[in-house]
Amino acid sequence: MANYPIKIILKTLSYLGLLFTAVPAFLSFHGLITFKQYEIFMIVGAFMWFLSAPFWVTKKDNI
């Protein structure tokens, strides 16, 4: 598949976006990062997800 590497990059970005959304809350809960840093991670995660997911998440031929 010609666009296979692009899909891999897009999917990686999307999953990283979800990780950036979910994990920092636990780090903040345990005092490893501040609440402000947690909020920044959340925004970055949201942008990563919404800028990459639309290109692969609705496609039938998902990898």
Partner 1 sequence: MSDNTATSISNQLDAINDYEREPVPASKVKGFKDFLALVASEHIAGTEFVIGPLFVLHGATASDVILGLLVGNILATLSWTLICAPLAVKTRLTLFYQLERISGYKLVSIFNGISGIQACVFAAFMAVVSAGAISLVLGLETPSFSQMLPSGITWVVLVTVLVALITVIAIQGIDLVSKFATISTPWMPWVFLASGIATLPQLGVHSFSDFWTVANTTIWTGTPVEGMSKYNFWHIMFFAWLCNTAMHIGLADTFIYRYAKKSYYGIASFGGMFIGHFMAWIASGILCAAALQAGISDPTPGQVAGIGAGIAGIICVVIAGWTTANPTLYRAGLAIQGIFPSTKRWKITAWLGLAAALMASFPGIVSKLDNLLAWFALIAAPVGAIVVLEVYVFKKLNLETDYSHHRNGKMNWAVAATWIISVTLCYLIYLGLELDFFFFMAIPGWFIAAIVYLFLCKLRQMKQPKNIIKDSL
Binding residues for partner 1, per CB under 8 A? 17-18, 21-22, 24-26, 28-29, 31, 35, 38-39, 42-43, 45-46, 49-50, 53-54, 57-58
We find the least distance from the C-beta atom of residue 11 to partner 1, in angstroms, to be 12
What Cα–Cα distance (Å) separates residue 8 from each residue in 4, 15, 36, 61? 6, 11, 31, 13
Contact present, 61 and 18 (Cβ < 8 Å)? no
Nearer to partner 1, 2 or 30 (CB): 30
Nearer to partner 1, 6 or 57 (CB): 57
Amino acid at site 3:
N
